[in-house]
Structure 1
Amino acid sequence: MSKYLLDKFLYTVDRDPELVERYREDPAGLVTWWEGEMAGKLLNCVPDERTTWLAFTEEERRALREHDHVALFEMGAHPFLTLTLFIAMFERDHGPLEYQKAYGRAMRHISLPYPDIAT
């Protein structure tokens, strides 16, 4: 598992409005495309340098496909990256601050010490 790769996915998708929409509409398709096409390029790796840290685990893929921000946080993804991306995708479907409050409520069961979010 690579927390860096998870965070890189969340960061790059959040910064591109087209990718945000693709992730909202077809998360499985975007995750597959990003992992196969972008992971190595964004990390400046040549094809012969494929290693396991350039691929998501099945658990990470599932959480990304299902937009499961709680599982992503529990795996060590940075909460600011999931929050900003998920706000971009889902805030429009809710009233003011409703999505942010629901996001927090979903993580209410997590207590200190929080998962390590260092990369």
Structure 2
Amino acid sequence: MSKYLLDKFLFTVDRDPELVERYREQPRATVEWWEAEYAGRLLGCHGGERSTWPRFDVVEREALATHDYPRLFELGAHPFLTLTLFIAMFERDYDEPLGFQHEYARRLAHHSLPYPDIST
């Protein structure tokens, strides 16, 4: 398991509006494409350097592919990264203000301190 790779996925997808929409509409295909194309790219490196080791495990890949943000939280994905990406994808589906944020809080309410470790 790699919390770093989960956070890297959330971070890079959230910063590209086209990827946000792609992930919303085709989550499994987007996760597979991102893993093949971006997982090995080094953040902040512009020279084309790549690493060959980063891969999601089965549980991480499935949580991402099914938009299972409670499971991502349990796996240690950073909650701010998860929340901002999923707000971008799903806030529009709620009629009331902060609708998705309330849903997010409701679905994570069963967790108590200490929360999962989010250090990478």
TM surpasses 0.5: yes
Give the aligned partner of residue 84 of structure 1.
Answer: 84
Q: Which amino acid aligns with 1:3?
A: K
Q: CA deviation at 1:41?
A: 1.8
Q: Which amino acid aligns with 2:100?
A: Y
Which consecutive aligned stretches of 4+ in structure 1 deviate over 2 angstroms post-superposition? 42-46
**Which amino acid is 2:115 matched to?**
Y
- Per-residue deviation, 1:42: 3.6
Alpha-carbon deviations, 1:60-90, whole Å to 9, x = none? 0010011011000100000000100000000
Letter in 1 for 2:118: I
TM-score, with length taken from structure 2:
0.91
User: How far off is 1:58 after superposition?
Assistant: 0.4
**Aligned residue in 2 for 1:16:** 16
Question: Which has the larger helix fraction?
Answer: 1
Unaligned ranges ≥5, structure 1 = none
- Over the matched positions of the two proteins, sequence identity in percent amounts to 66
Q: Which runs of 5+ in 2 are unaligned?
A: none
Question: Which residue in the other structure is 2:117 paired with?
Answer: 116
Structure 1 residue 23: deviation in Å?
0.2
**TM-score, normalised relative to structure 1:** 0.92
- Aligned residue runs from structure 1 range 34-53, under 5 A: 34-43=34-43, 45-46=49-50, 49-51=51-53
Amino acid at match of 2:111: I
Give 1:106's aligned residue.
107
